[in-house]
Amino acid sequence: MRGQMMNQPLTITSIMRHADAQHGSREIVSVTHDNPRHRYTYTEAFRRVRKLANALSDLGLKPSDRIGTLAWNDYRHFELYYGVSCAGYVCHTINPRLFEEQISFIVNHAEDRCLFFDAALVPLLEGLVEQLESVRHFVILTDRDHMPETSLPGALCYEELIESHSDGFDWPDLDEHEASSLCYTSGTTGDPKGVLYSHRSNVLHSYAAALPDSMGLRAGDTVLPVVPMFHANAWGLNYTIPMVGAKFVLPGPESGNPGALAELMQGEGVTMAAGVPTVWLGLLQHLAKTGQRLDTLERTVVGGSACPLSIMDEFREKHGVETFHAWGMTETSPLGTLCTPKSDFDSLAHDAKQAVRAKQGRPVYGVELKITDDNNIEQPWDGQAFGSLKIRGPWVADGYYKLDKSSAHDSDGWFETGDVATIDPDGYMQITDRTKDVIKSGGEWISSIELENVAVGHPQVAEAAVIGVQHPKWAERPLLIVVPDSDADLTKEAVLDHMRGKIAKWWMPDDVVFVDEIPHTATGKISKLKLREMYQDYTLPA
Ligand code: AMP
């Protein structure tokens, strides 16, 4: 017997309608290159979204055409998210920090018909234009007064494009399984791969993200995603924030400027912010230097790479801010796990609490995790056994755009994350490495991430990375690469002394090198690939 409930499609349009009807007077505040503090309401935003949808129709686009964006987090990018997806096109967010060849590969692979981009990116696109085969329209996200000179063919000005159009638009009835958005993974090897989200996957992911033990968002919050809109829909926050009706604060081109971020957070009363550890490290250093306070901030969600306990401790102890560690991937929309406390957390001793906080967390309802060995045998949830981490759920990619899915999924259809992890008896998962970064020493695995976490706990270490280098006896041994604080007088022995006793003896790095800078990928993660290239001929001390 089938249930007799309505089959209302789960579409992004429904999030927009809800936010408009219920939270119309809530503000969206943005920094943009042409306005240091733009503010308007959801009602005004969606009025412009309807004008945009009419403008897109007039550009002669077909349903499901891909429309690329290269833009920072601001209100025009927000409008594109809704105008494009709700009108039945696919919003293809592109990371402007990728290599130029990657950008042209991605645009051509997706067959983007239009590109909408920040004015600051005009030179980038002028350099690429000859290679962009499918693009018919170039639209610069600015107004007439700030329109730059450009050789881009027929370049349009966003404000002029939408201005003359009606603010009435009859949104199409979309199938919830239709593609809404597309995001390519940065991919450290091979060509970038496209993850094609559906309306349904984004709506379900937003429900899960908003849950109290997830990101715990509510109408009274003021939320600032530092995580870029071109990275897995700003961790889905572009949908979750309007869904709950929180005030939306967008840092635009200032996301990498700790001073500007602190001012924005304090000035707009931000209660929750989300970003990668590097962002918080910079912000905390700025706060320590200036003595500035973040009076309204209650919590941060930190993910993208492992968050050192030192960041969480400083947030909690100096600023009264709780930090929640999260793990996910572009392929998982991205929320997989969040480290929120279970009922017995408060009764734990300090060290036990710290051990929980360091983990990436437990799966939110909707996704399931497992860890397996090389023979696809499931490993126990004892917090000790390592295994390849696999995930499944309605917001996990079932394949890559235009690619065969077999390479990323196991024979049972679980998605292979490429991460190595443990899961403890309470269901908390801890990433110990990327499959290709784990250091295989004498047949045993050493977690590069754990070594990095311990090393950055040294007060004079600004950043640390660990890679495996060749060893005649053990195959590979860990090399620790450290960026010391600018005014520090740090020695190898001091770093190793700090690590001793905190990790197994045989995990101790065989050597430490000091550098001014560690290379990062376009999404801000440590580039182990680059480091391995740099140190491929490195000889460890005897
Ligand atoms: P991306 O698809 O670019 O978001 O990258 C996803 C990858 O980032 C994951 O597979 C992990 O390797 C890594 N990652 C994400 N969050 C964390 C975290 N909290 N701790 C460690 N690694 C993480």
Q: Which atom of ligand 1 is nearest to the CA of 434?
A: 12
Distance between CA atoms of 498 and 177, rounded to whole angstroms? 52
73 lines ligand 1 (CB under 6 A): no
Please report, as a single letter, which amino acid is at residue 449: I
pLDDT in tens, 286-324: 999 999 999 999 999 999 888 989 899 999 999 999 999
432 lines ligand 1 (CB under 6 A): no
Check residue 405 and give its pLDDT.
61
CATH number for the domain spanning 196: value is: 3.40.50.12780
301 lines ligand 1 (CB under 6 A): no
166-169, long-range: CB < 8 A, 24+ apart: 166/50, 166/51, 166/54, 167/47, 167/48, 167/50, 167/51, 168/50, 169/50, 169/51, 169/53, 169/54, 169/87
From 180, 200, 220, the end of a domain falls on 200
303 lines ligand 1 (CB under 6 A): yes
194 lines ligand 1 (CB under 6 A): no
From 200, 218, 249, the end of a domain falls on 200
Q: Which atom of ligand 1 is nearest to the CA of 325?
A: 19
Report the number of distinct structural domains present in the chain.
2
Would you report the helix, strand and coil content of the chain in percent, each value rounded to 5? 35, 25, 40
Distance (Å) from CA 345 to ligand 1 centroid: 25
523 lines ligand 1 (CB under 6 A): yes
pLDDT in tens, 509-519: 999 999 999 99
- 248 occurs within a structural domain: no
- 300 occurs within a structural domain: no
Mean pLDDT of the region 390-400:
97
Which among 238, 240, 232, 117 is positioned nearest to 182, based on CA atoms?
A: 232
Instruction: Tell me the percentage of the chain whose pLDDT exceeds 70.
Output: 99
- 524 occurs within a structural domain: yes
Instruction: Tell me the percentage of the chain whose pLDDT exceeds 90.
Output: 83
Which among 313, 529, 337, 311 is positioned nearest to 431, based on CA atoms?
A: 337
pLDDT in tens, 123-145: 999 999 999 999 999 999 999 99
Name the CA dihedral angle for 385, 389, 393, 394, rounded to a multiple of 10 degrees: 160
Would you say residue 455 has pLDDT above 80? yes
- 304 occurs within a structural domain: no
Check residue 363 and give its pLDDT.
98
Sheet (strand 272-275) strand order: 35-41, 27-32, 247-250, 222-225, 272-275, 299-302, 322-328, 335-338, 362-363
Determine which residue's CA is closest to atom 1 belonging to ligand 1: 329
pLDDT in tens, 479-520: 999 999 877 789 999 999 999 998 889 899 999 999 999 998
Determine which residue's CA is closest to atom 23 belonging to ligand 1: 305
What's the mean per-residue pLDDT of the chain? 94
Least confident of 14-23, 146-155, 447-456: 447-456
Q: How many CB atoms lie within 10 A of CB 500?
A: 11
- 432 occurs within a structural domain: no
Determine which residue's CA is closest to atom 8 belonging to ligand 1: 304
306 lines ligand 1 (CB under 6 A): yes
Determine whether 506 is an active site residue.
no
Would you say residue 461 has pLDDT above 90? yes
Distance (Å) from CA 66 to ligand 1 centroid: 26
Greater model confidence, 407 or 338? 338
pLDDT in tens, 334-392: 999 999 999 999 999 999 999 999 999 999 999 999 999 888 999 999 999 989 999 99
- 320 occurs within a structural domain: no
Q: Which atom of ligand 1 is nearest to the CA of 306?
A: 20
- 139 occurs within a structural domain: yes
Distance (Å) from CA 363 to ligand 1 centroid: 14
Distance (Å) from CA 418 to ligand 1 centroid: 10
Assign 447 a pLDDT band (cuts: 50, 70, 90): confident
CATH number for the domain spanning 459: value is: 3.30.300.30
- Give the three-class secondary structure for 368: strand
305 lines ligand 1 (CB under 6 A): yes
304 lines ligand 1 (CB under 6 A): yes
- 305 occurs within a structural domain: no
Kindly give the interhelix angle for 199-210 and 237-244, rounded to the nearest 10 degrees: 60
Strands 27-32 and 247-250: parallel
Domain coverage including residue 80: 12-26+42-200
Sheet (strand 156-157) strand order: 156-157, 137-140, 114-117, 66-70, 90-93, 179-185, 193-198
CB 11 within 8 A of CB 5: no
From 200, 227, 250, the end of a domain falls on 200
Single out the catalytic residue among 331, 450, 452, 463: 331
Determine whether 440 is an active site residue.
yes
